Amino acid sequence: MRNIVLVTLDSVRADHCSFMGYHRETTPTLDKMARKGLVFENAIAAGVGTPASMMGAFTGLFAPLTDEVNPKIWRLEFDRRKTLAQVLSKLGYSTGAVVPNTFASSYFGFNKGFQYFQDFLGSGTKFYERIFEKIFKENSKITFFIKNLINFVLRREVFTPWEKYYEEITDWVEKTKEPFFLWILLMDTHFPYLVPRKFRKWSSFLSMYRSNWKLQSVNFENRLTERERQKLIDAYDDSIRYADEFVKRLIKDLKDYDPIYIIHSDHGDGFGEHGYYMHGFVRNKAVGLYEELIHVPLIIYNTDIKGKIEEPVSLLNLPSTIMDIVGQNSEFSTKSALRSGNTWVLIRTIENGQIKVAVRMKNWKFITGQKEVDELYNLKEDPHEQKNVINEHSDLAENLRNIAERYIIRQKPEAMRIIRDIQKIKLNKSDKHAKEV
């Protein structure tokens, strides 16, 4: 069985990768991989934000439909599901992960099936639990600041450069038994976009730090000038190029192991195109289902499969796809992206109890629940989704609306189950507190 390396580039949008047509050469290594491997031109995230997207990518099922990014709910859902790492482990794979992102850590249950899981939480897990509870339940800016200050000092989470833990990755590979499945999630492309000097091409030390500081100072709201916005994009593009350098070095150092590489992103980032910056849950507020957040890069490299797949595929297809390329039967409900035959895929999120659904086709996208009116975009003519053409294409809109509405109806029992789970968790916590008093 072939070794497998899955690299997740946090927050990288497809349209900022040079192999996807971006005007800057942000991904020289990925460009070469794309030419020699398989590129999915319309890969769509399984959720908005890391926990939702990566749970889908590892289980083939959407993440729990809940407003709350509640770690207890996520762990409960992982307990109910099979994961890619779990299935590969049963097949005889050594499974390891290096994940400096708390939202994809053992704290959320992502360690299921991994024999080795380095998330850098260590003995601070309980402390982090208290911090997360305050951030997500009290919307505490002070706690958010304290958390980021600690991480900045310790160079953890979003402040962890890949060079700091690179040897930990290669050490695990050298010591482990083959075949292996290795998952690495890079945070270098996540805000704040901080890039070492020798890897900066479009930003400078001052412009990089000032643009990151400026966005945070306006509370991530759409209040940057065009010049400030461009400086932030410069830093973002440099961060992608820095992550690309990681892939280049990894391919060189793992050459003797001849692994299959799957390179993708969990979601993208907004730069004010639709009134917001960053992604997913910012200050506990869910944002939209536009392309800058859901259209992600996806490459499979070092197999006999080459070319481009233009049909839309979801990251929900990822576990079955990996099973397919290593010649194993899939135990997941979704099909392999190599043979899915999709003409459309779905992505969903929820805000204040309102389910939002996008139906993504190759050249069209329908969104419902996001605004007072439904939205339809011709992505070929309007890739940045600035003109809603729903009135000009009413028949297509109606067909896609029916798909979305049927899906929403099917999700209501799940939404009710999640609500009951949350209520039980709160009740148990209340009972525990009462006993302590």
Instruction: Give me the CATH number covering residue 198.
Output: 3.40.720.10
pLDDT at res. 218: 87
DSSP 63: P
142 in a structural domain: no
pLDDT at res. 263: 98
Q: Which helix (H) or strand (E) holds 300?
A: strand 298-301
CB within 8 Å of 372: residues ≥ 6 apart: none
pTM of the full structure: 0.90
How many domains does the chain contain in total? 1
Cα 315 to its chain centre, rounded Å, is: 9
Expressed as residue numbers, the domain containing 286 is: 4-120+156-345
63 in a structural domain: yes
SS3 4: strand
Q: Structure tokens of 278? A: 């960053």
Euclidean distance between CA atoms 283 and 292, whole angstroms: 19
422 in a structural domain: no
Q: Is 174 left (phi over 0), alpha (psi -120 to 50) or beta?
A: alpha
380 in a structural domain: no
Euclidean distance between CA atoms 253 and 250, whole angstroms: 5
Q: Which helix (H) or strand (E) holds 416?
A: helix 394-436
Euclidean distance between CA atoms 46 and 371, whole angstroms: 21
| Cβ 374 vs Cβ 390: under 8 Å | yes
CB within 8 Å of 336: residues ≥ 6 apart: 317, 320, 321, 323, 324, 330
CB within 8 Å of 416: residues ≥ 6 apart: none
pLDDT at res. 235: 98
pLDDT at res. 332: 95
163 in a structural domain: yes
Q: Which residues make beta-bridge pairs with 94?
A: 180
For the chain, list residues with pLDDT below 50: 145, 153, 280, 284, 433-437
Q: Which helix (H) or strand (E) holds 142?
A: helix 141-154
Cα 36 to its chain centre, rounded Å, is: 25
361 in a structural domain: no
For the chain, the first-to-last Cα distance in angstroms comes to: 56
DSSP 336: P
pLDDT at res. 433: 43
Q: Is 399 left (phi over 0), alpha (psi -120 to 50) or beta?
A: alpha
Euclidean distance between CA atoms 435 and 2, whole angstroms: 53
362 in a structural domain: no
Euclidean distance between CA atoms 176 and 185, whole angstroms: 19
Q: Which helix (H) or strand (E) holds 286?
A: strand 285-286
- Which amino acid, residue 57? A
20 in a structural domain: yes
Q: Other CB atoms closer than 10 Å to residue 73's CB: what's the count?
A: 20
pLDDT at res. 232: 97
